[in-house]
């Protein structure tokens, strides 16, 4: 449990740093460079999708060389460099380069960190372990947003944005310091010739393959969260109000991640995953139809509940049914599948917004999430967490 807490603190401080910056990116692009929603979609789509291609390779390298802590630390260090790159970006292409650098770091660190969490979990408590990690992760995000909300005054100026970019490096460095307290589980393994990861994927459970298909379909309609912030902005809210709504989302996800993770240990992952996708569909429908700030606040709160129901639970599901020797690879593959879908997802969202109006990308996302929930409900078998065992 101690290891999970320190891994959570790594993510806590890193997300303080990241979320001091993330909600500002679409606002900064619009204010400083006149970027349209379509251009924001291209930037976010490229950054998320290109970087996510690394996740499966990072997972494969994790399984092969067993240097989980070192790989994760390298990925987190890249996040600090990202904030510095934002300071020197003089155009939207510079912002794109910085975002790609940040997502490259996430692509490197996600799989080895998730393996570290799964190896530190108590038997029968995989959902709880990932819930604790996600709770600390989202708590850091909420604190980062709150700091930005206090420091930003009304409509941010370019100098105000850059001051926040610089300040955000401090918690990023604190997150790296937490790695000194993380212990890596050392295992003695027989040295054998490993096949390329794509050949090993033949061993993958058919249910996991189905879930990866669902991840792709769902993510195709789940564009970058920047579109939620732009939607709030389009309804007349100023920068501080938009940031406050993003805080509501993150603090809700943080508070609910542990209880919902523990609930998935008791009732199974399927019920939480289906419910989470149905909730997302309802929330996106709400974003399409919303016209009042109070309604938006409720929607951001429900969106946080959706994140708590899905993110940690799906990682626990993948970690449980993946073959032990492919755990890092498959945790990385799940993130990669989502990342591949993010490029067309964000580009589609931007194009739909510019062509048909602000409601269009949310109606599209609501439909795909409803379809994903249907596939899970009718084709995904209920998985016994008690029988799953623990590595």
Evaluate whether residue 211 is within a structural domain.
Answer: yes
**Alpha carbon separation from 112 to 45, 62, 177, 332 (Å, rounded):** 24, 6, 17, 8
Evaluate whether residue 191 is within a structural domain.
Answer: no
pLDDT higher than 90, residue 58: no
Evaluate whether residue 34 is within a structural domain.
Answer: yes
Q: What is the mean pLDDT of residues 158-182?
A: 89
Q: What is the pTM of this model?
A: 0.73
- The CATH number for 281's domain is 1.20.1250.20
Evaluate whether residue 190 is within a structural domain.
Answer: no
3-class SS of residue 194:
coil
- Whole-number pLDDT of residue 60: 66
Q: What is the mean pLDDT of residues 93-119?
A: 85
162 within 8 A of 83, measured Cβ to Cβ: no
Q: What is the mean pLDDT of residues 107-111?
A: 80
Domains contained in the chain, number: 1
191 pLDDT band (50/70/90 cuts)?
A: very low
Q: What is the mean pLDDT of residues 339-346?
A: 78
Q: What is the mean pLDDT of residues 82-90?
A: 87
Question: Of the given ranges (104-118, 182-196, 286-300, 311-325), which has the lowest mean pLDDT?
Answer: 182-196
Residues in CB range of 30: below 8 A, 6 or more apart: 40, 233
Please report where in the chains the tokens 């970006």 appear, as a residue.
89
Evaluate whether residue 189 is within a structural domain.
Answer: no
Evaluate whether residue 123 is within a structural domain.
Answer: yes
- The whole domain housing 73 covers 2-182+199-388
- Whole-number pLDDT of residue 283: 96
Residues in CB range of 346: below 8 A, 6 or more apart: 41, 42, 44, 45, 48, 223, 224, 227
- Whole-number pLDDT of residue 317: 82
Evaluate whether residue 85 is within a structural domain.
Answer: yes
- Whole-number pLDDT of residue 187: 56
42 within 8 A of 350, measured Cβ to Cβ: yes
Evaluate whether residue 192 is within a structural domain.
Answer: no
């Amino acid at each position: 449990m101690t290891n999970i807490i320190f891994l959570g603190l790594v993510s806590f401080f890193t997300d303080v740093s990241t979320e001091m910056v993330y909600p500002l990116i679409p606002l900064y692009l619009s204010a400083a460079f006149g970027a349209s929603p379509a251009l924001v979609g291209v930037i976010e789509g490229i950054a998320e999708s290109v970087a996510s291609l690394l996740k499966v390779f990072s997972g494969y390298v994790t399984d092969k060389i067993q240097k989980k802590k070192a790989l994760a630390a390298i990925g987190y260090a890249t996040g600090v460099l990202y904030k510095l790159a934002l300071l020197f970006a003089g155009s939207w292409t510079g912002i794109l380069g910085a975002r790609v650098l940040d997502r490259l770091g996430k692509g490197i660190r996600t799989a080895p960190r998730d393996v570290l969490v799964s190896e530190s979990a108590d038997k029968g408590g995989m959902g709880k372990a990932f819930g604790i990690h996600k709770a600390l992760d989202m708590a850091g995000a909420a604190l980062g947003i709150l700091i930005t909300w206090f420091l930003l005054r009304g409509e941010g100026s370019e100098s105000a944005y850059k001051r926040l970019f610089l300040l955000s490096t401090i918690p990023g460095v604190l997150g790296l310091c937490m790695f000194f307290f993380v212990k890596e589980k050392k295992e003695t393994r027989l040295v054998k010739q490993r096949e390329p990861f794509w050949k090993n994927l033949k061993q993958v459970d058919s249910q996991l393959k189905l879930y990866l298909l669902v991840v792709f379909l769902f993510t195709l309609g789940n564009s970058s969260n920047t579109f939620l912030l732009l939607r709030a902005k389009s309804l007349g809210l100023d920068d501080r109000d938009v940031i406050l709504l993003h805080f509501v989302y993150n603090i809700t996800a943080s508070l609910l991640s542990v209880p919902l993770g523990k609930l998935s240990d008791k009732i199974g992952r399927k019920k939480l995953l289906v419910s989470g996708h149905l909730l997302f569909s309802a929330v996106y429908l709400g974003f399409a139809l919303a016209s009042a700030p109070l309604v938006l606040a409720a929607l951001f709160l429900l969106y946080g509940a959706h994140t708590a129901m899905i993110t940690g639970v799906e990682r626990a599901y993948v970690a449980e049914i993946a073959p032990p020797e492919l755990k890092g690879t498959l945790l990385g593959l799940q993130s990669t599948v989502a990342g591949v879908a993010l490029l067309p997802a964000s580009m589609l969202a931007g194009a739909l917004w510019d062509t048909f109006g602000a409601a269009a990308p949310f109606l599209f996302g609501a439909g795909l999430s409803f379809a994903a929930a249907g596939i899970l409900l009718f084709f995904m078998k209920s998985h016994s967490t008690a029988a799953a065992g623990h590595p």
